[in-house]
Every structure is written in structure tokens, then in C-alpha cells.
Amino acid sequence: MTMFDDTQSERPAACPAHAPADHPAIKPARIGILVANLGTPDATDYWSMRRYLSEFLSDKRVVDYSAWLWQPLLQLVILSKRPFSSGAAYKSIWNNEADESPLLTITKAQTKAIRDKMVAQYGDDVRVDFCMRYGNPSTQSKVREMVEAGCQKILFFPLYPHYAGATSATANDQFFRALMAEKWQPITRTVEPYYADPAYIDALAQSIERAYAAADTRPEKLICSYHGVPERYLREGDPYHCQCQKTSRLLQERLGWDDTQIVTTFQSRFGPEEWLKPYTVQEVARLAEEDGIRNIAVCAPAFSADCIETLEEINEEIKEAFEEAGGEKFTYIPCLNDDAAHIDALCGVIDRNLKGWL
């Protein structure tokens, strides 16, 4: 069971110098570092899944169809059935010991590791915590806690290497909405995407090198499977596709491989539209059927932590598609999670964005 202590030392509030004796006490100023991930249901039962899916799929950044068309379909059709199938998928990967999703367990571990490094570097001048865009702990609750703890400046860090409207942007939207509820708004910064950060690329490369070194037989192809978005988003100006392609190219260069050894694909298609291609589930089957590839490895560079899309979709559904098409050896390379090199990379990003504040 992964333990997470979300407490940090609190400095007592005091009346400001030169203020009247009856002035409200104010806590000493400090800086908040708030990391954010996608979110998780509280449990795998029908109503927990329904609440989570309703919040997620009602986000206009995720599904941008007209509400008068989408909401009846979502509430009356999709959410009458999907909580059962999604709940079953979550049950297959659930952290039963901690009674929480793997994403929550991993995000807690990442936050603790980041906090340990930040406090060692900056002491009590910083407060580090995490929130989820959907589900708990909510962004608004964590912003409120930081303001109450005296955070007059907050660095908000969505844990997505690549920018997309449906990930980084909606996390920022929720953060800004939380600020609207604050009487005294802290000064804020949001962190830029880090898809090309050398330390992040190196952490990815190290994880792949370790997996290949441990393999009995070297995989013939490495599949870099990124979460998909509709193709329309690319035409409308979302940079996600281009940033994913650059990550794959930089990873290939760092590994010293030629361009025949890495394949970039996109997973998790939802709805009737065409999404970014090639689709991972189809491409792994094609590699087995048409190219005779029998041994592949799959990594998921767009995910900072293992979750339903990696542990269930990649390591179960996509693996099954490959094997049914004739594939023999399927290696899933876990996300970077709380790997030390990953934490160092994230802390490097944080340090750069704290310049001028500390």
C-alpha cells in the first residue's frame, strides 16, 4: 500500500507589521506547487463510475458537440451502459490494497517525491500538492487549501508532456475557475508542455533501454502509442499531433536508432469521427499480419502515470489484438511514474518555472 502524507509544516498566522492590533492575522507568504492529473473514479461501482464519466464526458474540451445534441445522448444512452463496462475495466487494474485506482496511487507517489526534492531545496517556502481535473481531490479544493496555507503565488503544473485542448487546456481552465472563487487571488503561472525537454526524453530512453536489456529477445519494433484526439483538432490548430511526432523523433535520436525501429500510433478512439492515425490497435495487428512482426514493445510517452488507458487498454486490449493477428511476444514498457529520472525531469521543469519567485 502506498502511503501519502499530504501535510506540511504550517507557519502560524500573525498580524502584519505596522498594522493595527485588530488587523486580521495573515500567514507568512509561501509558494504553492500544484501538480494536476486527469482524474479517477472514487470506486468501481455503477454510480461512482457514472459520476466520474458524466463529469469527464460533459467537458466541452473533451467532447465539443452542441450540448442539446450531446447531453441527451450522454445522459440517457451512454451513461446507462458505459459505467458497467468501464467499472469492469477499472476492477481489472484496481489497487485493492489501497482501494484506489493506480493513477491515484502513482500520482501520490510522484507528488511525495517532488515535494521531498522541493522542500530539500527551498525549505518551508514551498508547499507541494496534487489535484485531479475530474473526481477527487478536486482542483478547487486544493487551490483553497493552498490559499489558506498562505500561498500567495501558485505554480500550476498539468502532468502532460504534450499540450492538447482536452488535457492541458482543460486542466488550466479548471484552475482558473478555482481562482474565481478566491477573494484574494494568488499570483499564478502555468507550466508549458515539456515534450522536448532533454531530461524527459532521457528518462524515456532509459526506461526503454532497461526494458530491452531485460528482454530475452530484442523487440523488432517499438510502438510509441499516444492518446488520440480527433483529426479535426489538428486542423483547428491544436499542436498535440506535432508535439507527439517530435517526442518520437527526439527519442529515436537519443536511442541512436534508425527510423524503421520506432512506430508512432494513437489509441483510445471515441465516437464517430476520424481520429489521429494510425490507430494503435489496428497498427499492431497490421504489423503482425502483413509485415510478419512477431515481437514488439509498446510505450506510452504521453502519459506521465500508468492508468486505465495503459494498464487495461494497452496491456490487455491492444496486446490481445496483436496476439490474435499472429504476434507472439508483446512487451509493455510502463510509464515513467515515480522513476527517479522522471522526478528529476519534472523538478527541473518546476525549477525553471519558479525563476524570479525563489
Q: For the segment 54-97, what is each residue's pLDDT rounded down to a tens digit?
A: 999 999 999 999 999 999 999 999 999 999 999 999 999 999 99
Q: Across residues 106-124, what is the average pLDDT?
A: 96
Q: For the segment 167-183, what is each residue's pLDDT rounded down to a tens digit?
A: 999 999 999 999 999 99
Measured distance between the N- and C-terminal CA atoms of the chain, rounded to whole angstroms: 35
Q: Across residues 138-142, what is the average pLDDT?
A: 98
Q: For the segment 284-327, what is each residue's pLDDT rounded down to a tens digit?
A: 999 999 999 999 999 999 999 999 999 999 999 999 999 999 99
Confidence of residue 17 (pLDDT cuts 50, 70, 90): low
Q: For the segment 18-62, what is each residue's pLDDT rounded down to a tens digit?
A: 666 665 666 778 999 999 999 999 999 999 999 999 999 999 999
Q: For the segment 148-169, what is each residue's pLDDT rounded down to a tens digit?
A: 999 999 999 999 999 999 999 9
Confidence of residue 358 (pLDDT cuts 50, 70, 90): confident
Strands (E) across 205-308 are located at 221-227, 262-267, 295-299
User: pTM for the complete prediction?
Assistant: 0.92
Q: Give residues with Cβ within 8 angstroms of 210, minimum separation 6.
A: none
Of 235, 197, 223, which Cα lies nearest the Cα of 327?
223
Residue with the three cell numbers 486490449: 317
